[in-house]
Amino acid sequence: MNCPKCGEGNPEGAKFCSQCRTDLTDLSGYDQPEAEAKYRELLIDLLGDGILEDWEEKSLEEAREELKISFTCSKQMQAELGGSNNAPPPVAIFIDIAHIKKFQVGGTCVFSFLFKNQIEKGLRSVSLNFEDTDTSEPLSVKT
């Protein structure tokens, strides 16, 4: 049996986690569907750029404990959403600050745009060229 708090493997029937001393006798409150949905939403928000900062990790850990999401469930969700510190850094273009657009592939943010209208600084078009690292096919975005 794995500890819901730290993920440590414990013998069946153990009353407390051998690593963090969490009570293992009543695990019925963990991984409830409503709590999982809230946690998944938070994960999507924090993992949107593919990089998890230290303060985000702390915030995520606090939310995981508050919502009673098990360590195993949390790691599984992160894997499903593509959250990894090994992911390539996202490309961000900051044109202005009124509109954010994220482009995702498999739950991982590939790049994002941040737009703001400025009458005195007119932007007529943007052209970006990327290459798919799996297929070597060119990808283009024009606005």
pLDDT at 20 over 50: yes
What's the pLDDT tens digit per position in 48-78? 666 667 777 888 888 888 898 888 888 888 7
CA 115 to each of CA 50, 121, 123: distance values in angstroms, whole numbers, following the listed order: 20, 12, 10
Put simply, whether the predicted model's pTM sits higher than 0.85 gets the answer no
Residue with the larger pLDDT of the pair 95 and 135 = 135
Asked which of 4-8, 32-36, 48-52 is least confident by mean pLDDT, the reply is 48-52
What's the pLDDT tens digit per position in 21-33? 888 888 778 888 8
Q: How far apart are the first and last CA of the chain?
A: 53
Q: Which of 115, 114, 39, 113 is nearest to 83 (CA)?
A: 39
pLDDT at 45 over 60: yes
Residue type, 39: Y
79 confidence band (pLDDT: 50, 70, 90)? confident
